[in-house]
Amino acid sequence: MSQFRTLTAGTLDSGAKYQRPRQTLPDHVTLDSPAMDVMTDLAKVAAETVPANASVDEAEERMIASGVRLLFVTNQLNQVIGIVTSKDLSGEKILRYINDSNSARKDLIVRDIMTPQHKVEVLEMGDVATARVGDIVATMKRMGRQHALVVDRNADNRQTIRGLLSTTQISRQLGQAIETTDIAGNFANLANAG
């Protein structure tokens, strides 16, 4: 062991953070750019998650601290059971739930307002890998969504969430706003008005 040196050890400073993987996406894309240039690749960036029983305030704090607008809602087995977005936490959905359930915001948990897994629309990785940014924009407008999950399949044909597409991210890279209509929200509003 005489050929090895001993390193100096210290203590961890108060307030130290940990390194997070960062994916570098191009600053500027066009509608003809490859769709992969606008996808957050979860093979390169850690997904942000929240347990279903966390308070909505905790979820909002996690989004702010992480700089994201969507969290995967997970169970004890780290399976995704839904998603929650910043719009869910501050928009009509939460106000409607508060009114309908006669609850205070501080009493709400993520499970109350999340979009459950069976209602989350996904795109296949094989399709995204061969698509252009314009294809993604057209798809998200048709879906009426600000986010789209991208799934890959393993040997058993089981889905794994591989990526995330966001109109906010795409707008930033395109240098122009992308307007989508929240179709699900509009249908809910029509149903409530009728």
| CATH number of the domain where residue 87 is located | 3.10.580.10
Q: Say if 134 falls within a structural domain.
A: yes
> Which residues, including other chains, have CB under 8 Å from residue 35's CB and lie 6 or more apart?
128, 129, 131, 132, 133, 135, 136, 165
Q: Say if 12 falls within a structural domain.
A: no
For the stretch 4-56, pLDDT in tens is 988 888 888 888 777 777 788 999 999 999 999 999 999 999 899 999 999 99
What distance lies between CA 187 and its chain's CA centroid? 22
**What is the pLDDT at residue 182?**
60
Span 135-139, mean pLDDT?
96
**What is the pLDDT at residue 81?**
96
Q: Say if 28 falls within a structural domain.
A: no
Structure tokens at 194: 């009728």
In this model, does residue 194 exceed pLDDT 70? no
**What is the pLDDT at residue 108?**
92
State the chain's mean pLDDT as an integer: 88
Q: Say if 40 falls within a structural domain.
A: yes
Structure tokens at 34: 């490859």
Q: Say if 17 falls within a structural domain.
A: no
Span 110-119, mean pLDDT?
94
Q: Say if 23 falls within a structural domain.
A: no
**What is the pLDDT at residue 184?**
47
Residue with tokens 């570098």: 24
Q: Say if 165 falls within a structural domain.
A: yes
How far apart, in whole angstroms, are the C-alpha atoms of residue 194 and residue 191? 5
At residue 192 the predicted structure's pLDDT band, cuts being 50, 70 and 90, is very low
Q: Say if 52 falls within a structural domain.
A: yes
For the stretch 142-168, pLDDT in tens is 999 889 999 998 888 889 999 999 999
The domain in which residue 150 lies consists of 35-180
Structural domain total, the chain: 1
